[in-house]
Amino acid sequence: MTALAACGGPGDESADAKTVTLVSHDSFSASKSVLAAFEKESGYKVKVLPGGDAGKAVNQAILSKDNPQGDVFFGIDNTLLSRGLKEGIFSPYKAKGLSGVPADLQLDKGGHRVTPLDYGDICVNYDRAYFDRHKLAPPKTFDDLVKPAYKGLLVTENSATSSPGLAFQLGTIATYGNGGWQTYWKKLKANGVEVVDGWEQAYYERFSGSASGHAKGDKPLVVSYASSPPAEVKDMKTKPRQAPTGVATGTCFRQIEFGGLLKGAKNEKGGKALLDFLLSKKFQEDMPLQMFVNPALKDAREPALFTRYGVTIDKPTTMAPATITKNREQWIKQWSSLVLK
């Protein structure tokens, strides 16, 4: 990342003028042809700086806010949004096409410091083959996860460093209340939950159901997304009747992702152009099979594979941003002392 950031440094004005830098989490992805179309239309070269899990990437953006690493940040979500806004890392900008985004996704409607770009649901995923082999019904709800039948089967992410991990914690708080979630997590810990730093480690290294895993994990339950099953099917030559992974639909929390123009951006004009593009139909229709999220733009069409194998969550748990803002740091500290010690 340091080497990339050094390209076109402060002293190279011509490079800055022609390059727009997107800072994001590791899961950012776009088709080469789609990015090439933006580069051709705008005249800017896009440089992507991945910064780990969303939680880590946001932390880094805050730490470097006096000398931002890029022009646009992609991937701050509703669980972390208030922190980024409070720290003042974004400059206001009303992106073109914002009128095509549903009002319930526009959580900074008055300030326009961030632009909603996608949404999805954080849910427990399960490895169908494991549960078939063991003749065990997969869990459906939070309550199921603390039952003895599922002891030692779940891996989740650290709430302090991972946005999916924090979203999963918030889902338990929304379900059991401010007086009951701590008891729930004590039971989950006693039932052998494993905690890792981020989503990629949890899904690709510890989860047994990941076809593209770097290492074959032994955990048949993982905190991931309702849209993860299509990712498992995408590269299969012969498409199966159903995805090899399933979703515990009673464990879901709605996550909304945003992009924003970083305050102090060296290429503010290019940053605005890139934000407009991220909300364009071309990019929005590319997102589902690149990052496996739902596009924020109402009239963006989702690919058939995404809708066929993905799971629609009609009633995910949610939480008002103001409630998250008021309690997040305290909840994370309580969670850490309960689960990590």
CA dihedral 302→307→310→311, nearest 10 degrees, is 110
The reply to whether the predicted model has a pTM over 0.85 is no
Which pLDDT belongs to residue 110?
A: 87
pLDDT digits over 207-233, tens only? 999 876 555 799 999 999 999 999 999
All domains of the chain in start order, with CATH: 19-119+255-309 (3.40.190.10), 121-253+315-340 (3.40.190.10)
pLDDT digits over 131-144, tens only? 999 999 999 999 99
Query: Is residue 53 very low, low, confident or very high in pLDDT (cuts 50, 70, 90)?
Result: confident
pLDDT (average), residues 324-336? 95
Which pLDDT belongs to residue 16?
A: 64
Query: Is residue 88 very low, low, confident or very high in pLDDT (cuts 50, 70, 90)?
Result: very high
The pLDDT of residue 12 is above 50: no
Phi, psi (degrees; rounded to nearest 5) at 322: -65, -35
Which pLDDT belongs to residue 200?
A: 87
pLDDT (average), residues 145-170? 96
Torsional sign, CA 210, 213, 218, 219: negative
Query: Is residue 15 very low, low, confident or very high in pLDDT (cuts 50, 70, 90)?
Result: low
Which pLDDT belongs to residue 13?
A: 45
**Which position has the token pair 């066929």?**
308
Question: Which residues are within 8 A (CB) of 140 and not within 5 positions of it... i.e. 6 or more apart?
Answer: 248, 249, 250, 251
Question: Which residues are within 8 A (CB) of 288 and not within 5 positions of it... i.e. 6 or more apart?
Answer: 227, 230, 294, 295, 302, 303, 306
Please report which residue ranges of 214-313 form alpha helices under DSSP H: 228-233, 268-278, 281-286, 304-309
pLDDT digits over 246-295, tens only? 999 999 999 999 999 999 999 999 999 999 999 999 999 999 999 999 99
Which pLDDT belongs to residue 10?
A: 44
Which pLDDT belongs to residue 325?
A: 86
Given phi > 0 = left and psi -120 to 50 = alpha, else beta, which region is 296? alpha
pLDDT (average), residues 122-134? 97
Of 311 and 322, the structure prediction assigns the larger pLDDT to 311
pLDDT (average), residues 27-34? 95
The pLDDT of residue 192 is above 90: yes
Which pLDDT belongs to residue 14?
A: 47
Which pLDDT belongs to residue 55?
A: 84
Which pLDDT belongs to residue 215?
A: 59
The pLDDT of residue 3 is above 50: no
Query: Is residue 17 very low, low, confident or very high in pLDDT (cuts 50, 70, 90)?
Result: confident
Which pLDDT belongs to residue 212?
A: 67
Of 325 and 267, the structure prediction assigns the larger pLDDT to 267
The pLDDT of residue 1 is above 50: no
